[in-house]
Structure 1
C-alpha cells in the first residue's frame, strides 16, 4: 500500500516510547505460542486492515473459507487514521487486538522492538519460503534473532518514471543515462531547452534522501544499531541533492498533494518513486496517458543497485490472537501463494513481495498508459535487487531529524557533512545510541 509517513508518528502520539534497543520493552500480551503448520484449522479469526488492503483480504477470505471447512475470516477496515492508534494501545495493554494486523514496512521496526513478545514468530509457517520473498521486506519484518514477526505483503520497488514528450523536446536520450551524473547532465539540457526541472520533490520532508541512500546499501543505522546518518554515503547523497537544487533542477513541492499536482502540471521530466506511483498517475492524471515510460534507477557507481524501496506493508499475528493457528494459516494462504498475490495485483494494485508471483504473464503485459510498455516487468525484475538496510525503533525520529538536515543543506546552503554530523549528534543525544565510527 502507498507509503504514508504518519504511520510511524502514530506510535509516538499514544505515548509508546520508541527509544532504546531491542532489549526490554512491552510484551504486547499473549503467550509464546509455537505455530504448527500441520495444526487442525477451525473456528473464526478477525483481520484488521484498511483501504485496498481490506478489500483484497476480504475477497481472499471468501476463497480461504471455501477451501477450509468450518472456518470464518472476518476482515475489518479499521481506517488508516485509526489503525496505528488502535494497534499501539492494544499491544501496550496486552489485549484488544484481532488475530491478524496490517503493519507498514516503515512502522515495523517500532513494533518489533517495542513489543518483542507482541507478535508470533511466523518462521514455522513461512520459513521454508524465505528465499521466495523480497529479501529487503523479509529483513525489515524480522527481529534481531531472525524471527519473522511481520510477513512481507506488498513491496514498494522503486524505478525512474520519465515524461517521454519532455525528454524528446529537449533532444536527450534518457535511456543512455546510466549514472546519476549522467541524469543530472541530461537534466541541465532539459532545463535549458524546455524550462522544465529534472524532478519534483518535497525537500522539507527529506526530498527522497533515504530512498537514494538505500540505493547505496545504507540506512540511518547499522546492524549494531549505531547511527550512520552521517556516513560517507549519506554525505554523497545530500551533496548531490544540494548541487541539483543549485543548478535549478529540483522543483520543491509541499506534501503529497504538491507532488501529485506537480506531476499533473508537467513541472519535471522524471520521478524516482515506487511501483504504486503507477496507480497515482492513472487515477489522478489520466490525461497524461501515453506520455510516460519507466526505466531502472540510474546507478551511483558502475555495478551498483538500480532500485530502492519506498513503502509497502506486511501482516502479523499478535501473540494475543484468539486463534493463532488459523491466523497464521490465513497469512500463509494470502502471501505465499502466487495466484493469490497476482490476484491482489490485478484487482487491488498491490505489488507482490512474493517473487514467484512476479513470474506471472500479467507482469509482461503492455500497459496502455505507458504507451504499451510492460512497465510492471521492470519492477518485477528489480524487486529481488532491493538493497536491505537496517531499521530500528528510532527510525521515525531519525527520519524527522534527517528531513531537517536536508532542508538546511539543500534549501539554505549549509555544508552537507556538517549538518549530517550535527544531526547524528542530535539523534545520539535524544536516543542514547552511539554514532558509528
Structure 2
C-alpha cells in the first residue's frame, strides 16, 4: 500500500537540499547532458536504480520482466530507505560521484535539483517529448523547466474528499450536494451539531492544507519566478482554512500518526486528500469497511477546479550513468506503458500519471471497502484536470516561512493577508526574488 511518505513529502516538501546546505548549489555549473539514444541500439550491460518503500517494491517486481525481454541486461534495484534518500542524492550530485543510473524523485524535489545542480540530471526532452500528451499535465510541468525535461512522471496523486457515510446520514446531508467549499462549511456545521464530529483533520502547524488549496486555485508559491504567497488566491486559500478553524470544524492533530489515529477514532467526518489515502484506510482501518465514500474536492467557485494534488513521484536519469541507452529504455518501458502502469496500480497502489492506463477496466472495479463505489474511476477522471503550478528550487525555503504565517493565522487568529504579506517579504529577501504584483 502507499504509505505515509507520500503525505509527508507530497505537499510538505522535504528539506534535503536545505539540510545539506546546498541552497546555492556546489555541483557542476554547466547544463546537464542531453540524452542521445539510438533507436536501433541493442541494449546491453547493467544499470542500478535507487528508490524506497512501495516504489522500490514495484521496481523490484517489474525489473525481471524487462530483463527477460532483453537477454543479457541486468537491472539492480536498491531500496535506499526514505529517511536518508535525499541526503544521499544530494551528496552524490555535489561530489559528482556515487549516484546510480536512475533515481526516484518526488515532484517537489525535481526543481531544486535541476536548479542547484544543472549538470546532475539528464535532459530527456529529445526522447520523451512525444509522450507529453499522454501524461498528467501537472506532473509533466513539475518534471520540466525552461531548460528541458528532467524526469518522466510515475505516479499521480489526485485529491478528492473522503467522507464518512454514517455521519453524513446522521446529519441528513446528501454528499452530492457539496459542490463548493461554502457548501462544505455549511455541511460541517450541521455535522458537528448532529454528531459532535469536526469536518476534517489537519496539522495546523504545517502549511500542507494551504498548499493543497493553493494548487486547487492553480498557483504555487511562485508565479513567473516571483514570490506569490500573498496573491489573492493565496489569501483566499488561507481565509477558507481560518473560517473552518474559527467555526471549530478542523480537528488539529500532529503529523501523520495524528491524522491516522484521529481518523481511526472517528473524530472527523471527511478528509480532503489524495487517492493513496484509500490504501491507508484499507490497510490500517479494516474495521471501518463500508463507512467511507468519496466525492470530488469542493470547488472554490461553482465551476472551479474540483481536485488538487498531494504527492507523486518520477524517475530521473543521472548524468553519472555509463549506460544512457539502457537507463532510458527501462524508464520508458516502465512508465510509458499502459500494462506496466496498470500492474503497479493493481499490486502497489501507485496511481498512474500515464493517462492511457486510466482507461483500463481496473479503474471501474467496485471497491467493497467503499460500499461498492468505483472510487478509482472518480480519481482517474480527475487526473487530467489537476491544475499545473510553478515549482522552484526555493519552494522548500518558502515553506519554512509559510509555516509561521499559516500557524499564526490558524492558531493565533492573525489576519491571513497580513501574515501572508509578511511571509512574502521575508521569502523575497531570503531568495532574492521579486514580489509578484
With the shorter chain as reference, the TM-score category is: over 0.9
RMSD, aligned CA = 1.6
Deviations 1:345-391 (A, max 9, x none): 11111000000001000000011110110110000000000000001
In the superposition, relative to structure 1, how do residues 284 and 28 fare at CA in structure 2: closer, same or farther (>3 Å)?
A: farther
User: What is the match of residue 118 of structure 2?
Assistant: 116
In the superposition, relative to structure 1, how do residues 304 and 25 fare at CA in structure 2: closer, same or farther (>3 Å)?
A: farther
- Report the TM-score when normalising by structure 1: 0.96
Deviations 1:261-308 (A, max 9, x none): 111011111100001111111111111110000011111112211100
Structure 1 contact 119–149 (Cα < 8 Å) conserved: yes
User: What is the match of residue 187 of structure 2?
Assistant: 186
User: What is the match of residue 3 of structure 1?
Assistant: 7
In the superposition, relative to structure 1, how do residues 320 and 305 fare at CA in structure 2: closer, same or farther (>3 Å)?
A: same
User: What is the match of residue 208 of structure 1?
Assistant: 209
**Deviating runs (4+, > 6 A) in structure 1?**
none
Say whether 1:73 aligns with 2:68.
no
In the superposition, relative to structure 1, how do residues 308 and 31 fare at CA in structure 2: closer, same or farther (>3 Å)?
A: closer
Of 106, 109, 114, 1:107 maps to: 109
Structure 1 contact 31–320 (Cα < 8 Å) conserved: no
User: What is the match of residue 136 of structure 2?
Assistant: 134
- Give 1:16-415 correspondences, 5 Å limit: 16-17=22-23, 26-27=28-29, 31-145=33-147, 147-223=148-224, 225-415=225-415
In the superposition, relative to structure 1, how do residues 236 and 29 fare at CA in structure 2: closer, same or farther (>3 Å)?
A: closer
Unmatched runs of 5 consecutive residues or more in structure 2: none
- Report the TM-score when normalising by structure 2: 0.96
- Give 1:425-436 correspondences, 5 Å limit: 425-436=425-436
> Which stretch of the first structure deviates more once superposed, 379-388 or 25-34?
25-34
> Which stretch of the first structure deviates more once superposed, 113-122 or 46-55?
113-122
**CA distance in 1: counterparts of 2:306 and 2:27, whole angstroms:** 37
In the superposition, relative to structure 1, how do residues 116 and 247 fare at CA in structure 2: closer, same or farther (>3 Å)?
A: same
Unmatched runs of 5 consecutive residues or more in structure 1: none
Deviations 1:1-42 (A, max 9, x none): 6233376312222221158xxxx9644997555233443211
Structure 1 contact 30–320 (Cα < 8 Å) conserved: no
Aligned length: 431
Structure 2 contact 155–353 (Cα < 8 Å) conserved: yes
In the superposition, relative to structure 1, how do residues 33 and 298 fare at CA in structure 2: closer, same or farther (>3 Å)?
A: closer
3-state SS of paired residue (2:421):
helix
3-state SS of paired residue (2:41):
coil
